[in-house]
Each structure stands twice: as structure tokens, then as C-alpha cells.
Structure 1
Amino acid sequence: MVSTSSTAEGRRDLQLLPKAHLHLHFTGSMRHGTLVELAERDGHVLPDALVEDWPPRLSAADEKGWFRFQRLYDVARSVLRTEDDVRRLVLEAAEDDGADGGRWLELQVDPSGYAAKFGGITRFTELVLDAVADASARTGVGIGLVVAANRTRHPLDARTLARLAAQYADRGVVGFGLSNDERRGTTADFAAAFAIARRAGLRALPHAGELVGPANIRVAVEQLGADRLGHGVRSAEDPALLDEVVRRGIALEVCPTSNVSLGVFSDLSSVPLPTLLEAGATVALGADDPLLFGSRLHGQYAAVRAAHDLDDATLAHLARMSVEASCAPDSLKEELAREISAWAGSGLD
């Protein structure tokens, strides 16, 4: 069992802890300052929730709350008007992760949400992959792209995106996901799309177990063949299911700040991270949408350290699991494992 007590001798700098970031959405990764600047450039009036009242107060406890969240996300996406805007977003996401100790980033995007403005899903995907290669070279942060389908659209659209992802399986796309409001659509209907992606060697990375409980996790595991679960945190509500997730080695992309902001849990201390760790689950902390939740990768580690009084050994364990669960090259995984061990054995702040 992993210890969750604080160290008696002090605490190490979490920004120096090497880690992988496995749950970050494309537009949601945008810096707030960049959002405001791009909107002003084009005379785009942003709602108060994205300016004076930022970060916005959000809740997805009901569909009205999710609609508000999605509306703000769509407003933010609308400021991306040029190829340079896309390149800037990707570069700044890599820079921000690098500043937080991130050494590998998996950026998730639904190309269909940008296709009309950027010449179609294929052209947009190629633009993002080119931006990814440039940002990685400039920052030293390794980056893989996750193509994600929108569960509020028809499953046939998901198959189209899965085929698109498969075309780039050896050119920077590392996985296939499924996102948006878990309460909409039927998860099992997307099984064919995930089968296409898996045949191409892509990891299956659907969202499940955030807004909907254990039942949807079972579908994602048994019918979509999930390798990781976006969120998956509510597996803690079903011990038998959690045991199965652990047995299968399915990693959970836990996003504490997002969970609280959307009303999944009342506060950070209620996020069941200790339960997941005690069960032996592989957990990778993620920021989800920093633009809307106001906290990036380092903030997730700092939040759970404070909320659950985690010691440095446990935080290093979380970082190791993020790397192990990633799609990073084996050589980078080995390098980061050594660096994490060095951090855990280093002097204190």
C-alpha cells in the first residue's frame, strides 16, 4: 500500500519532479492571456466568465451546467482563426508543461471541431502534427497527439475520425479517445470506431467514470477495450470494478481540479485518490482544461499533496505511473524513471 502521510523532514519542489501529462484538451490548454489577446485582435467580445470573472464558476451536475461549460469552451475555440494561432497554442502548451516539470505530453483534439475553419479534418490534423513536431523540438517536451471523437455526434463520425487517426499512427498520433458529456450518447455504439483504432496500434483512451458512475466504466473497459480511462475516478465507488481495472492494468487519468470545478466532488479532499492508490490503481494526474479550471499540471500535484497530505515518495510514485502509462518511447520512459528517482532522493526545499 502506498503511504499518504507527509514526510517529517520536508518537501521537495514539485515543479522539478519529472512527469508525463496524459489528459489535456487542445483548446482547453490555451493560456488565458492568449485567449484575451486573440479575442481583442479580432474584435471578439468574450463573456465576463472568460475575462473579469475568470476562471469561471462551473458545475456539470446537471445538463444545464454542462451546456454552460461547453458554451465557454466553444467561445474559446472560436478565437483560433489562423494557422499561427494553432502553432502558438501548441507551443505554449508545451512551454507550460515544461515549466511544470512535464517531459511528455499527450494532447487530445477532435479535428471535426476545427475542420470548417482549417480546410477539413485531414488538413487540420496535419497542421497540428506539424505544430507538435516544432513545439517538441523547441521545448524538449515530447508530445503525442490523441484524436478524439465527440460522443454527442453520430458513431459513424467517430469511425471516420478513427480511420483518420489510423493514417497517422506512425506519424505522431498515439491514441484514440471519446469525449464530451458522458450522459449523452451510448458508449457501446462507439465500439466499432475503437476497434479501427486498435487495429492500427493506437491506444484506446475514452473518457468514462466522471459524470457517470461505474456502469459506464464497465462499458468502456469491456466494449471499447480501454487502455486508459479519461478520469475513471468513480471506479472507487465499486470495489469489484476497481479490482478489475487494476487487474487489467488500465490507468486512470485523474483530474482533481476539474472534478471539483464540475461538481463531481465537493472539494479536493473528497477526490478518492487515496482509495485508488491503496487498491493499486495506476493513476496519472492531469489538468484537463486549464483555460476553464485555472490550474495546470503542477497545480494538480500541489492540490493533492495539500488535500491528502501526500508525502514525496507518493508524489514520485504518481509521476512514475504517469510515465509508465504514457505512450512515450521506451528510451524516454527509462530516462524519466531515473530522473524521478533522483528527485525522490535529492535534497529538500
Structure 2
Amino acid sequence: MESATVGRDLRLLPKAHLHLHFTGSMRSGTLLELADKYGVRLPEALSGGEPPKLRATDERGWFRFQRLYDTARSCLREPEDIRRLVHEAAEEEVRDGSGWLEIQVDPTSYAPLLGGMLPAMEVILDAVDTASRDTGVGIRVLVAANRMKHPLDARTLARLAVRYADRGVIGFGLSNDERRGLARDFDRAFHIAREGGLIAAPHGGELTGPSSVRDCLDDLHASRIGHGIRAAESPALLRRLAAEGVTCEVCPASNVALGVYEKPEDVPLRALWDAGVPMALSADDPLLFGSRLAAQYELAREHHGFTDEELAELARQSLRASVAPDDVRERLLTGVDAWLAEPAPTG
């Protein structure tokens, strides 16, 4: 009897990680230790050892998700906590085969405990430099504004992001509940960021439908879309994303955990793939959703039948959409080819 061919190890597939939130990258064990250190009482959803049961498709559910996130963030109080978080995130990237990480952060969340906005950015960027040097993973930062705050706050953040463009800030985003705040309200902030040489990567097409993706394209001139998965509901929008080469940072496990789709097989990865929309599979918030980068590729393989050749192309798409230097990108792309050239294991 012949042995059946099984897939290659996806942890060995070189790839880039383009949608990872700062606090959400934390290991659950680290959160428990920091909560104990600072006397923070964690809810059972964060201390029980399993990912919390979430459903954020209504406002009450999103509020609960955000409250859990804020509780976790409250345990990051000193520069050493920031350094630990970034270093451990980089270690997880190494384990999952990622050679390039673009991590997303709103520094206003950490500024009160770190001495202000500028000191907070210095601590974060120093931590990124150290973790990158120690682990070999290229790491850059995307500064994200909050839709729930005033657009003037976003302009302040955009100027801050541009100020640190020579220190590793590469992009500007817009996060939180996309049902709140129109994209066009933040157009001036994104103009400031783009004029400063940063990429525009706002969230859209997660909690709301194709219209939010169109708004990101039309009003914010996005070069990448955070999530973007619900563009699948509009064939015309899929054609536009493919024609313009706009990459969607798709986070399948997150989509299921938040109730955007009921089951992994419901996430319309194939719709985007078949339309030629470039994707960068990403983990979003592993602390809350329970899975990291390689698991997203496993999900595509197990629930959507992606072959190793297709998974390799998804990895290439993540690398092409990154802002990695040419030599880093080419080295990792060569690694993708080498991964695919290896004989598939049998079992």
C-alpha cells in the first residue's frame, strides 16, 4: 500500500506577518505573570487557559472584546514589560517561519505609564530594535489611530508616526469598531502619513461589509486593507482590489472567533483567491483568539483545500505586500521556493 502524501511543515514556510496588534501578541502565560506582578485581577476569560468565547458582531459583544483587550493592556506598565512582549512576539514569529513582522500599536494607550507619547515611542522602537537583532526577524511598526477617538487625535498620531519614520515606523492604520467613525473623517490624518512616506493600512471589511473597504480605498487611499475579507460580498470590489493590487490582511481565526463567520470553512478565502486579490494571512490578536501565524495557513489547508503550491503563493503575497528591504524580501522569497522544492513528506 502506497503512503499518502501529506503537506509540508508550514512552520518552515518563510512568510511575513502584516497584521498583528501589540497587546494582542502577548503570550497568555506572560499576561498571567504580569497580572500577578501588578495585582491586576483578570476575568476568567483571560485567566482560564483557553481563548475567551467572543462574539463581537453586535455592540455588546464588541464592548466585551474591547474590555478584555484593555484589561490585558493595563498589565503593560514598565519598559521591561514592553521589551518582554516584543521579544516574545519575535520568538513566536521565528517558530512560525515568519522572517518579517509589521506590528501595530497605538502609543497613546501606553503613554500615561511610560512618561508620555515620545517616551512611549522610544521604548517601543528600542524594544523592536533589540528583539530584531536578537532573533533575526525583521520588525517594523505601524502606528494605528482609534476610530473611537476624535479625528484630531489621529492627526497628532500621524505626525508622530512620520517623525519616527527613520526609526522603524513604516505605516499608519485605523483600528477599533469600523461601525463607528466614517473613514473620511480621518482623511487628513492619512494624508499627513502618506506625505511623510508611510503606507496607509486601515481596518475595513470585518464588522461591516464591502462599503467599508471602498471607503478605505476612496477616502484614505489605502495600499493595504486590515482584514478586507467581506469584500467577497461584492464581485465588483474584488475585481477592483485585484486590479489595483491592494493586499487584504486576512485573519481567518479572528473572523471566526469574533463571529463574523460561524465556522472556519465559512471564511471566504477562496473567493478572494479566485478573484486574484492578494492576501497576507495574519493572526490579529493571538492572546484572545488562541492561534498564531502558521495556524492561519493550516486553516487554509485544512478547511479550504489550499495546496502547498497555493500556500507558498500566499506566503509570497505576504512578502510582496510588506515593506521589507529588497534584499530581505528576495532572501525570504528564495526560501519559499526552497520550501516548495523539498519533497512532500509521506505518511
Query: Which secondary structure state, in structure 2, belongs to the residue aligned with residue 146 of structure 1?
Result: strand
Distance 1:129 1:43 in 2: 27
Determine the C-alpha separation between the residues in 2 that align with 1:139 and 1:318: 24
Cα deviations across residues 293-336 of structure 1 (Å, max 9, x unaligned)?
00001111111110111110011011000000001111111111
Letter in 2 for 1:165: A
Structure 2 counterpart of 1:300, from 291, 296, 303: 296
| Kept after mapping to 2: 8 A contact 1:323/1:333 | yes
The answer for the alignment partner of 1:128 in structure 2 is 124
Which of these residues, 30, 33, 43, is aligned with residue 34 of structure 1? 30
The change in CA–CA distance for 1:208 and 1:102 in structure 2 (over 3 A counts) is: same
Conserved? CA contact 1:48–1:54, under 8 Å: no
The separation in 1 between residues aligned to 2:344 and 2:49, in whole angstroms, is: 37
Q: Is the 8 A contact 2:28 2:49 kept in 1?
A: no
Name the counterpart of 1:289. Answer: 285
For the residue of structure 1 that corresponds to 2:291, the secondary structure is coil
Q: C-alpha displacement at 1:10, in angstroms?
A: 2.6
Unaligned runs of 5+ in 2: none
- Pick from 59, 63, 81 the counterpart of residue 67 of structure 1: 63
- Whole-angstrom CA distance in 1 between matches of 2:255 and 2:75: 26
Which digits, 9 at most, give the CA deviation of each residue in 1:192-250, with x for residues without a partner? Answer: 00000000110000000000101111110011010000000011100101111111111
Amino acid at match of 1:316: A
Q: Percent identity?
A: 59
Q: Residue 151 of structure 2: which of 146, 152, 155 is its match?
A: 155
TM-score by length of 2: 0.97
1:197 to 193, 196, 199: 193
Counterpart check, 1:333 vs 2:333? no
**Counterparts of 2:37 and 2:154, CA distance in 1:** 34
In the alignment, the residues of structure 2 paired with residue 42 and residue 53 of structure 1 have an alpha-carbon distance, to the nearest angstrom, of 19
Matched AA of 1:236 = A
Which deviations, in whole Å up to 9, do the C-alpha atoms of 1:55-86 show, x marking residues without a partner?
A: 10001110000000000000000111110000
Question: Equivalences for 1:1-349 in 2 at 5 Å?
Answer: 9-52=5-48, 54-349=50-345
Structure 2 distance, partners of 1:21, 1:211, is: 21
User: 2:201 aligns to what SS in structure 1?
Assistant: strand
Question: Following the alignment from structure 2 to structure 1, what is the Cα–Cα distance between the partners of residues 17 and 49?
Answer: 27
In the TM superposition, residue 270 of structure 1 has moved relative to its aligned partner by: 0.7
Deviations 1:145-168 (A, max 9, x none): 000000000000000000000011
- Look up the SS of the partner of 2:167 in the other structure: coil
Stretches of 4+ aligned residues off by more than 6 angstroms: none
The alpha carbon displacement at 1:53 in A equals 5.8
**AA partner of residue 170 (structure 2):** V
Query: 1:229 is paired with a residue of what secondary structure?
Result: strand
CA distance in 1 between partners of 2:332 and 2:89 (Å): 20
Deviation at 1:261, TM superposition (A): 0.5
For this pair of structures, how many residues does the alignment match?
342
Where 2:42 maps in the other structure, the secondary structure is coil
1:274 counterpart letter in structure 2: R
TM-score (norm 1): 0.97
Amino acid of the structure 1 residue aligned with 2:152: L
Q: Aligned letter for 1:92?
A: E
Where does residue 4 of structure 1 map in the other structure?
none
Give the gaps of 5 or more residues in structure 1. 1-7
What is the distance in 2 between the residues matched to 1:329 and 1:76? 33
Aligned counterparts of 2:117 and 2:241: Cα–Cα separation in 1 = 33
Offset at residue 30 of structure 1 (A): 0.2
Partners in 2 of 1:324 and 1:342 — Cα distance?
17
**Partners of 1:53 and 1:129 in 2: CA distance:** 30
Cα RMSD (Å) of the superposition?
Answer: 0.9
Equivalent position SS for 2:148: coil
d(CA) in 1 for partners of 2:153, 2:77: 24
